Amino acid sequence: MEITVGKTSGFCNGVRYTVEEANKALDENKMIYCLGEIVHNERVIEDLEKKGMKTISSIEEAEDHSKMIIRAHGERKEVYDRAKQKNIQLLDLTCGKIKAIRVKIKNKMNDYFIIIIGKKEHPETLGVQSFAGKDSFILENVEDIKDCKKFYQESKKEKIYIVSQTTFNGDKFDQLVEEIKKEFPGEIVVDKTICDATKNRQEETRELSKNVDVMIIVGGKKSSNTKELEVISKEHCKNVYLIQDVEDLKDIQISKDAKIGIMAGASTPEIVVKEIVNYLD
Ligand code: SF4
């Protein structure tokens, strides 16, 4: 059995920073709220919850005058405003790359209609849109262009500025931009804000999946960047498995002669990949 683990597999810098800072903060505080899952990985969440982190789904669940983590995806503007009202001290771990997109948008939003290409229900895109004001739209599929046009016309803006969710599929972004260009007149500025960590991981996944018999993608079921790795792998490899940890692998039959590629999403700790490799060995 030949096993190749992708070099770009596992925690990205943004997630690593988030987990390190949360750990540091929990060394000094008995209890800190975290709004939403800190990363899409059950083991990481469990470890931090044992140290005193409490995951909540709404800021209303946090007590006034408490401390709360904003995870790497960032949050909607309303959450920051509400935290002020409730005197909640924020540990804002929004990734710098996502903060940079907010700044770019701020510089353009007076003159441009903003299109964010990404998943409609994803916390990152919803957060970014909340800083873009009402003249903005999250576009996920070509079918959304019709609705987007309606909002664009109502905005009375003549120019369009396009950004991307940091973990979006690069090829799909390019295709959607082409479709938008066909439908919208006037100036369109395209800023492909897909993060390098995502881009490199997607490229390596593509190459690896072309050269193996079985591709194993490791990551949380809710992880957007992990799902994209599965989609890319399926374009080139017939046997693709998306698993969360070594337990999921135990039901899968793999030939001893198979060439196996392993790639983990941005929220998967190194230990999970090591356990998978040991099991396969
Ligand atoms: S994938 Fe990129 S943008 Fe997202 S948290 Fe990681 S480093 Fe930041």
| pLDDT for the residue 224 | 84
Residue 12 · residue 267 · CB < 8 Å: no
| pLDDT for the residue 220 | 86
Is residue 34 over pLDDT 90? yes
Taken in order of first residue, the domains within the chain and their CATH numbers are 2-10+196-280 (3.40.1010.20), 13-94 (3.40.50.11270), 97-190 (3.40.1010.20)
128 falls in which pLDDT band (50, 70, 90)?
very high
**Using CA atoms, how far apart are residues 47 and 252, in angstroms rounded to an integer?**
28
Q: Identify the residues whose C-beta falls under 6 Å from ligand 1.
A: 12-15, 72, 95, 97-98, 166-167, 195, 197-198, 266
Is residue 185 over pLDDT 90? no
Does the annotation count 124 as an active-site position? yes
214 falls in which pLDDT band (50, 70, 90)?
very high
| pLDDT for the residue 186 | 87
**Using CA atoms, how far apart are residues 30 and 35, in angstroms rounded to an integer?**
17
Return the residue whose CA atom lies nearest to atom 2 of ligand 1: 195
1 falls in which pLDDT band (50, 70, 90)?
confident
**Using CA atoms, how far apart are residues 179 and 191, in angstroms rounded to an integer?**
16
- Give me the catalytic one of 75, 124, 140, 230: 124
